[in-house]
Each structure stands twice: as C-alpha cells, then as structure tokens.
Structure 1
Amino acid sequence: MSDNARIAIEKVLFLGGESDAARAFFDLVAHQENEESGPDPKVLFVPSAGPRTPQEGAWVPCFGSNDKNALIRQVLNFGAQLVSTLTVDGRELSLYSAPDQGLFGITALADPRPHSEALGEVAFIDLYTPLAEKAANYYANALSCRVIHEQVPTPGDYRFLVWGVEPVAGVVDMLDVLPAAVPPHWIPYWRVLDLEAEVARLSDLGARVRVPVTDSALGPFALLADPFGVTFGLQTPASDTLLLEHGRSHT
C-alpha cells in the first residue's frame, strides 16, 4: 500500500441473526440520555451474506482505506480468503476469513473521514480468539499496523493494533477467559458516560450482564449480551484517551 494510505474501522456489521430486532435494540443502546440522538451511523445490520457467514448473529468490523484495492491485495497476500461481497446502504463491502477463521470486511474509507467521539457510538472493537498472537500478527501485516502487547490482568493477555498512533482494534487471548471451543468473534464497545447506569438501563431492556463493570489498564468496561445472546461492550471516554496515550507511548 502507498505511504499515504489510511486505515480505520469504517463500519461494524451485525451479520445474520435477528437483524431487524437487533437494530431496534441497538438503536436503544445508542439513544442514551440525549433525546436527539439517533442510531450509530457506523453500525450496519445485514440479515445474511451467504452460507459461509454466521447465521445466528455476529459482529464483523469493516476496515476502511483510501486505497481499498491495495488493501484487498494485501489482506489476500497475507492469507485471508474471500467469503462474500455485498452492498449495504449503497456501500460495497467484501468479507474475508482471516487465518484464525475470524471474519472481517474491507470497504472504502469515507472522504472526508469523520472523526467522532460522541456518546452512543461504537468506540472500539476487540477480537476474541484462541490464536491471539497469530491473529494480531496477521492483522498487523495485512493492515500495515503495529502491535502493542499489553500484559494486563483484565481482560486477559491483550494486544492492540495501532495505525500511526491511532488505535484500530484489540486482540484478546480468548483462552484466558473462554473455552477453546468458542469460535473467534468480535465484540464492539459503545461509548457511554455512566457505565453503571447504562448497564442497569440496558438490563431493563432485556440485556444480560456477562462481565459487570470492571476496571482495566485501558479504562473501565462492561460486557453484556443483547436479548438474542450476541455480546457487546460498553466503555467510557476514558478509554479513548488511554488507548491513544498507549499508542503514542509505544512509537
């Protein structure tokens, strides 16, 4: 890829499952206390993308680049396999299976690229995989990112990908927290101001708490499952700052 290419999470797909019902629920996640807030424009809901994609509901990040074709060549050269191509809301997306069997997408980066740290939007995303080192190295090579390896007690052995100094995604060693039989999966984190209050509000709306509010080296977080069992996270603006500081401190 060219030296001027940029990489960022452009969209997050909710793929398969009860996509219409999930859309309604996550509109409420994004709503929070602001009566004027609407659904997160970064999140797209896709009923199905073919037989090789999850049918029961899963999150898939779409990495955007202003040199999309070069990025596609690069992710394939490092071992990804094309799974499906689709058009959602007029946007062309291609889905790939990484060497650890986790799914991800590639799309064009919006121009000009919006930068938002608004409450009620997806702030970050983590990959939970039993092959954390392999996966982190793959994405670092394929996306032209750096890997920062953090030995932290929570959420487990943790790596995160940084483009320049900008955090892109995290990689969690799933074997620290989940059985090996669980397939690789992504968990997006919505940005909220009051974790305890949001966990209580979303629990009243049918979510189930999987990890209560927990402190970590990268800020407090909580994990919940939506009414259909798909896991998502919450974090505060403190994590935006801490992730950026970690990216800068490891240059």
Structure 2
Amino acid sequence: VNAMSYEGNTYGVPYATENLALLRNADLVKEAPKSFDDMIAAGEKAGTEFPFLVQVSDVGDPFHAYPFQTSFGAPVFGTDDTGAYDPADLQIGNEGGIEFAKWLAEEGEEGNLKTSLDGDIAKEKFVSGDSPFFLTGPWNVEAVEEAEINLEIDPIPSAGGEQAQPFVAVQGFFVSAKTENLLAATEFLTNYIGTEEVQTELYEVGNRPPANKAAFEAAKADETIAAFGEVGANGVPMPNIPEMAAVWEFWGVAEAEIITGKADPAKRWKQMTSDIEKAISK
C-alpha cells in the first residue's frame, strides 16, 4: 500500500510483489550463511570458480547491492511519521554509507564483486555449478530448477552488521487521473482486483507473489514463493517519489567506479551524494 501511495494519498491497488533472496546450491554448501564473510568463506571452501555471484555490470547495479548497503545503516531516504519516504531526509551519504563505499572497494579488490558480471553471466555460472551462492530474484529460479540444482533459498546475509533489507518491487493497478467514472474505476480495483480470488488467479498466471494477504498465504504452498516472501517481509518498498530519479542517475556509476578501484571510496561516495542533493534541489 505504501508503494501505491504518494504524499498521503493512495492511487492504486497492489497485486504482486518481488524481491531478491540468496539462492544456494545445497550440494556445494549445506547450511545458510550467517553473514557475508561467512558466505564468502563457505564459497571459497567449496572450491568453485566464484565464491559468490551477483550481477554488477560496468555501470553498477544498486538494486542488487542495496541489501548490503542497508546492512550498514544507509538507506537512500529516511521516512516520515506515516512511513512514507522523505525526500528532504537523504540518508545515503551518512557514515554508514561511507563505510559501505569502503566495503565495496574491499570486495572489488578481493574479486567478490565484479563489474564484468552481468545478469546473464551470473545466472549461467550458477546454473553451471560454478558458485554455491547467487543473489537474485525469483525470475531466475526456473532456470536453476531446470538445471536440477539442489536449490535452497536463504535470507540475504548482512555485510555491515545490521539487517540486510532488499527493495521490494510492487506491481499494481492505478486509477487514471483522466477516468470519466472515478467511482466505477475505484470499485473495480478495490472490490475486484483487490480480492483474494482475483489475486490468486493473477498469481497462477504470472507466478508473482500476490499482495493480498489471504492469497499470499495460499500461494505459500509453493516453497519458492514462501521463501522469497519471508525475505521480502524484511524488505522496504522501492521509493516511488520523483526525487528517486536523481538517485538512480548517479548511484550505479559511483558504485562501479569504487568497485573497480577507479575512485577513492569515501570521496566518490561524498561526490555522489552531493550530485544527488544538487539534482534534487533543482
């Protein structure tokens, strides 16, 4: 509902959610890691080409790195009393953000984060058994199952000591501002699209975890849905405020430069924060 709302007003009805989780090849590593360092140690002990896989690419990938960033206590924005994101409270450049930037540099130097790994390569390597761990979303589970990997889906391990919170993407139906019949449109969404029966049917067609709580409880009979849902329960909605556009513009590029060692992590993170602040204030 927060994802469908802006400045205290709700504009639509959510019907599905989507978030990252940690895929684990249980034939290579038997237990879920307790921390990022624990995961890397287990991955190295497994003796595979990669101890851990996550897509980064040469322009960065803040969406996939965000759970680790939040584990350093550095969300993008703070929230107000209603739980909505506050664009005046930019948190990304706090002390936790600086520590996260230093961590990115360290992991890049160690080879645990690689800008040469895009989504397709990361998936291919995991499916081929070249790593015991793959941070990704439910969209890659089918390929893993087809490869007959002994799959377990785990919580995302913390890198900074606090809880690793992924973004939760929310799909929904919105009422058009140009609708000629607001009452009928609202009735259709709230009393049809929002119902357990319809959201269950949408889930059966699209295989996305339903937003309706009763429909989701039924869908949890699918172990994959249940596991991703458990991780998503600790996630945060993808920011839907206009100011987020300015964040995306500078965020990934800064992360990529830090990971590859092209920039001092603290200075580059502070520059990124300054660039975001200037873009937001325009």
Bigger RCO of structures 1 and 2 (CA < 8 A, at least 6 apart):
2
TM-score when scaled to structure 2? 0.27
* Structure ranking higher in helix proportion: 2
Which has the greater radius of gyration? 2
